[in-house]
Amino acid sequence: MGQTLTNKILANHLVSGEMTPGEEISIGIDYTLTQDSTGTMAYLQFEALGIDKVRTKRSIAYIDHNMLQSGFENADDHNYIMSVANKHGIYASRPGNGICHQVNLERFGVPGATLLGSDSHTPTGGGIGMLAIGAGGLDVAVAMGGGPYHLTCPEVLNVELTGSLQPGVSAKDVILEVLRRLSVKGGVGKVIEYTGEGVKTLTVPERATITNMGAELGATTSIFPSDEETRKFLAAQGREEDYVPLAADPDAVYDDKIVIDLSELTPLAAKPHMPDNVETVKDIGPIKVDQVCIGSCTNSSYRDLMRVAAILKGKTVHPDTSLTISPGSKQVMNMLAQNGALSDMIDAGARILESACGPCIGMGQSPATDAVSVRTFNRNFYGRSGTPSANVYLVSPETAAVTALAGHLTDAPEALEDLSILDVDMPEEFVVNDNMIIPPAEDGSQVEVKRGPNIKPFPEHHALPNDIKAPVLLKMEDNITTDHIMPSNAKLLPYRSNIPYLAEFCLTPVDETFPERAKAAQSCFLVAGENYGQGSSREHAALAPLYLGVRGVIAKSFARIHMDNLINNGILPLTFVDPAAYDSVDLRDELEIDDLHADVRDKDTFIVKNLSKGATFEVKLAASPRQRSMLIAGGLLNYTRDQAQQSA
């Protein structure tokens, strides 16, 4: 029986466990990446592990998220990250060098290798045939220390691509189509593996657009084969030696399969407020658009922006529409500058932002009240733009550019007389200058780590009590995102290393009174629907609830990274055995679980008493033996420390 590409790479890196879907396995990690908004916490945790030098092939610390320096805080965080990287053998990508996933693809992606990143869009690396997984900072810290990464062995879902894209339709439309079919929870527990004749028609950055947004499917990761296109991309980056051809065996057996005929796709858009709320641009119709933002780790590569420049050339942005463009990397920005495309953008009236996440994470450019904002990004979760009343649509760069000129939603086949202006070749040589990537000190022992007043220690974790009696302080619906749990925007991102401050905003998009009520109650449960915690890898979505006394979340189902983050921080992630039991629990019900240690240690399901209703219901704990010990110890750091003490 032939093997999938996913299983080949997993098998090559397997450290423990049986490769049966659903079982816990652990794999060796070749490369890690962090970015600054999750990185401060990840490096504080790495320091707590007490390891001098990273033990990966290469670890890279990017600074790309917290770029607005409206106070000392972000600059303090940058100094901390640059110096801690220098000390511990980590390469550091300076602010201005670009968005982590774009730069990593250009300069460090290696087919067949494993990459663990403290950012949910790490699977961008799947575009180059890497097994690239997003995780919480603590998991990445452990991997930097040479420890394996534990994950649930995934199923492999095959997306076979046939045909080729019509002019004006692009990679973003492919992944929007996958989201339309599978939904934001359709990828949970799965790796999405792309095969078929259509693959050859897609360049590496286009493939990366597709794997990037596999994060929005909830997938463990997504991956493309490594083929002639991959070789050409690596050669053009001056890294042909990193090329290896890789593909699934022709007779590989997949757990599931869908087929997409690229030739049949038309431009699509995800409507507010979910990436799977997808319709054709045509069916949505010519709604008036106030803002267009082009960029993000999904759509800011050289060819994406060359097409945007071709559309804008000689035209003017609509008077009622603001257009921003953030090139994905210094390399992209520099090439656009050298060939004149940047000038075409500036001339048309685009507002050029630095190479960083920018508006994608609400770092500036929050739209006006009730505005419609059309973005090439990957997430349009409620409130994420920084303006709760705004309506955000996700589209391709081509759709975004023609929309910015028209002032209403439209697409390239509709708006352009001559679609051949979109024929942009991939460069034979990219402009390579890695002068903004700082190699670490040979001998880190003399390097002093700079800790400004913004760097606060992380909250203390306590061992699990044997009995918990606590009220339900929130009852939430399906698809609650980490942007609901721990909002991020220009005002809050500077406090990513200050949990007490962040906790004041925890879950406030759901209920503004939550932090206050949680502090008063001292300990509480949260109840939620399906796919709780989808979105970002931010551990802050577990650390802030922990700080506020959340003991357990009882949901219909969880998103992968958030569930790991809850366990890593000692918060119980429980699911309703009978989903109908969700209806029986109300806000403020007093719940009790007793003899918890025995339950957590040995049982898959156990009983929760609803004292307010005089009833009981059953919950499931889907955790490995290792995770159970972690929960009892009060999280991964306590567990690791206990293990170390025992072996000493």
Residues lying near ligand SF4 in the complex (CB under 6 A): 65, 99, 119, 121, 296-297, 357, 360-361, 377-378
Residue 90 contact, options ligand SF4, ligand MIC, none, Cβ 5-8 Å cut-off depending on partner type = none
Report the candidate in 269, 326, 337 with the shortest Cα–Cα distance to residue 293.
326
* Residue 376 binding ligand MIC, by CB under 6 A: no
536 given a catalytic annotation: yes
Determine contact, residues 174/262, Cβ cutoff 8 Å: yes
Find residue 428's DSSP bridge partners.
Answer: none
Burial string for 296-332 (b: 16+ CB within 10 Å, else e) reads: bbbbbbbbbbbbbbbbbeeeebbeebbbbbbbbbbbb
Active site residue 379: yes
Which burial class, exposed, middle or buried, applies to 223 when counting CB atoms under 10 A from its CB (0-12, 13-18, 19+)? buried
Nearer CB in complex with ligand SF4: 87/538: 538
Binding of ligand MIC by 78 (CB under 6 A): no
DSSP sequence for 208-251: HHHHHGGGGGTBSEEE--B-HHHHHHHHHTT-GGG---B---TT
Strands 391-394 and 590-593: unpaired
Decide if residue 380 touches ligand MIC (CB under 6 A). Answer: no
120 forms part of the interface with ligand MIC (CB under 6 A): yes
C-beta of 57: minimal distance to ligand MIC in Å? 23
Tell me if 537 contacts ligand MIC by CB under 6 A: yes
Q: Please, which residue, 54 or 357, has the CB nearer to ligand SF4?
A: 357
Write down the catalytic residue from 13, 36, 65, 540: 65
The angle, 0 to 180 degrees and rounded to 10, between the axes of the packed helices 137-144 and 36-49 is: 50
Q: In this complex, which beta carbon is closest to ligand SF4, that of residue 112 or of residue 327? A: 327
Query: Residue 336 in 3-state DSSP?
Result: helix
Determine which one of 13, 78, 318, 538 is catalytic: 538
Query: Order of strands, edge to edge, in the sheet holding 190-195?
Result: 221-223, 190-195, 155-162, 256-261
Q: In angstroms, rounded to a whole number, what is the distance separating the alpha carbons of residues 639 and 158?
A: 37
State the first-to-last Cα distance of the chain, in angstroms, to the nearest integer.
45
Cα dist from 192 to 149, 182, 186, 257, 376, whole Å: 19, 11, 10, 9, 22
- Enumerate the β-bridge partners of residue 191: 156, 221
The H-or-E segment that residue 568 falls in is helix 560-568
Which string of x and - marks every residue 309-348 that binds ligand MIC (by CB under 6 A)? Answer: ----------------------------------------
What is d(CA 2, CA 466) in angstroms, rounded to the nearest whole number? Answer: 48
94 flagged as catalytic: no
H or E element that contains 469:
strand 468-475
**Contact residue for ligand MIC among 8, 88, 461, 538 (CB under 6 A):** 538
* Binding segment (CB under 6 A) for ligand MIC, from list 323-331, 531-539, 577-585, 617-625: 531-539
Nearer to ligand SF4, 293 or 472 (CB): 293
Sole binder of ligand MIC in the list 488, 531, 568, 640 (CB under 6 A): 488
Q: Which of the residues 2 through 61 are near ligand MIC (CB under 6 A)?
A: 37-38
Can you tell me the distance from the alpha carbon of 139 to that of 597, in angstroms, rounded to the nearest whole number? Answer: 24
Range 489-512 burial, b when 16+ CB lie within 10 A, else e: bbebbbbbbbbeebbebbbbbbbe
- Closer by beta carbon to ligand SF4, 36 or else 599: 36
Nearest to ligand SF4 of 277, 339 (CB atom): 277
Catalytic residue among 375, 379, 540, 551: 379
Burial of 61 (0-12, 13-18, 19+ CB in 10 A): buried
Which residue, 133 or 371, is less far from ligand MIC as judged by CB? 133
Q: Which stretch binds ligand MIC (CB under 6 A): 115-123, 173-181, 333-341, 366-374?
A: 115-123
- Binding piece for ligand MIC, criterion CB under 6 A, among 235-243, 524-532, 536-544, 619-627: 536-544
CB of 61 to ligand SF4, least distance (A): 14
Helix axes 330-339, 341-348, angle to 10 degrees: 90
Which residue among the candidates 30, 36, 64, 276 is catalytic per the annotation? 64
Neighbours of 78 (CB within 10 A): 22
Distance CA 563, CA 459 (A): 19
Interaction partner, residue 296 (ligand MIC, ligand SF4, none; CB < 5-8 Å by kind):
ligand SF4
Q: Report the partner that residue 488 touches, choosing among ligand SF4, ligand MIC, none (CB closer than 5 to 8 A by kind).
A: ligand MIC
Q: Which stretch binds ligand MIC (CB under 6 A): 15-23, 151-159, 274-282, 529-537?
A: 529-537
Q: Which does 538 bind (CB under 5 to 8 A by kind): ligand SF4, ligand MIC, none?
A: ligand MIC
Q: CB-wise, 353 or 507, nearer to ligand SF4?
A: 353
Choose from ligand SF4, ligand MIC, none: what does 99 bind? Cβ within 5-8 Å by kind: ligand SF4
Of 31 and 576, which has the nearer Cβ to ligand SF4? 31
Residue 43 Cβ, how far from ligand MIC at the closest point, in Å?
A: 14
Pair of tokens at residue 100? 């982590």
Q: Shortest gap between Cβ of 297 and ligand SF4 (angstroms)?
A: 3
Binding site for ligand MIC (CB under 6 A): 37-38, 65, 119-121, 361, 488, 535-538
Active site residues: 64-65, 119, 379, 536, 538
